[in-house]
Amino acid sequence: MKKALICGISGQDGAYLAQLLLNKGYTVCGTSRDAQISSFNNLVRLGIRNEVKLESMALTDFRSVLQVLTKIQPDEIYNLAGQSSVGLSFEQPVETLESIATGTLNLLEAIRFLKARIKFYNASSSECFGDTGGIAADETTPFRPRSPYAVAKAAAFWEVANYREAYGLFACSGILFNHESPLRPERFVTQKIVTAACRIAQGSAEKLYLGNMCIQRDWGWAPEYVEAMYLMLQQEQPNDYVIATGESASLKDFVAAVFASVSLDWHDHVVSDASLLRPTDLEIGKGNPAKAKNQLGWEAKYKMKDVVQMMVKARLSD
């Protein structure tokens, strides 16, 4: 029986990954900065809270990381932890860099220090690419990060590559494009839109305030994307992969699809708010997942409109 350690298990991806691994017969352990007071609502929502062993671990504290790895002795580590909001990273750049870049480095160094045969997955991000001029980004596309979050994710990506090459660690990064689900918190714009539209459809007179709706993103379904993470660690050799649908849609298209799914015209309920614009943003995000399809056998089944339907259905059934 394999044992997996999921750092950041309380988030969207961590919860879905825990569910996937439990279904595959893994012993699953998860970490949080303070496991005794964390609610782990996503694990509760998926009905797996009592099936997961939980530990407190501060990723920015090397001693804490070393202690947990020594205690758990995992076969696989999935690093999904760290500050996860691009928008918040402009307000908390130091916390973002430390939680992502330093946290990843501590995990890699602990694996090296323990001389453990642990396979390591690192959650990288399409934000690392910056603007690619509408060209679909693949594993050879240069990084040009445009936010503190993207800078931190880029640093963590190269840390993983360095430890793989210098020390022979089985370490890889999944460069994931946007992926959504009902487990997204409302500070993410997709869930903000879905939640507001459902409230309005149920009689609320509120308006939905959004920033730049011309941006385009490659939106996928989170439960599918965690399957790609698992597959990366089942390969004979470690490698990095872009995970995406290969299709982009504008935020305006996403908004229109959400409101249409509850029989409303978004023009009547959405207001543009300049205060929500970021200092820098990506115009178009689009991925080329050909390598993942060819080497992992992974391909996205659900596209943006499917994701909208599933998120709205989940929200209305709450």
User: Which residues are catalytically annotated?
Assistant: 125, 127, 149
Q: How large is the angle between the packed helices 222-232 and 12-23, nearest 10 degrees?
A: 60
Closest alpha carbon to 186 in 199, 203, 177? 199
Under a CB-based contact definition with an 8 Å cutoff, are residues 26 and 4 in contact? yes
Under a CB-based contact definition with an 8 Å cutoff, are residues 183 and 42 in contact? yes
Dist. CA 305–CA 318, nearest whole Å: 20
Closest alpha carbon to 33 in 69, 54, 58, 13? 58
Closest alpha carbon to 66 in 111, 33, 28? 111
CA 187 to chain centre: 14
Question: H or E element: which one contains 173?
Answer: strand 170-176
Closest alpha carbon to 230 in 16, 38, 62? 16
Show Cβ contacts of residue 45 under 8 Å, excluding neighbours closer than 6 positions.
Answer: 15, 183
- For 76-134, give the DSSP string: EEEE--S---HHHHTT-HHHHHIIIIIHHHHHHHHHHHHT---EEEEEEEGGGG---TT
SS3 of residue 65 by DSSP: helix
Dihedral sign, CA of 219, 224, 230, 231?
negative
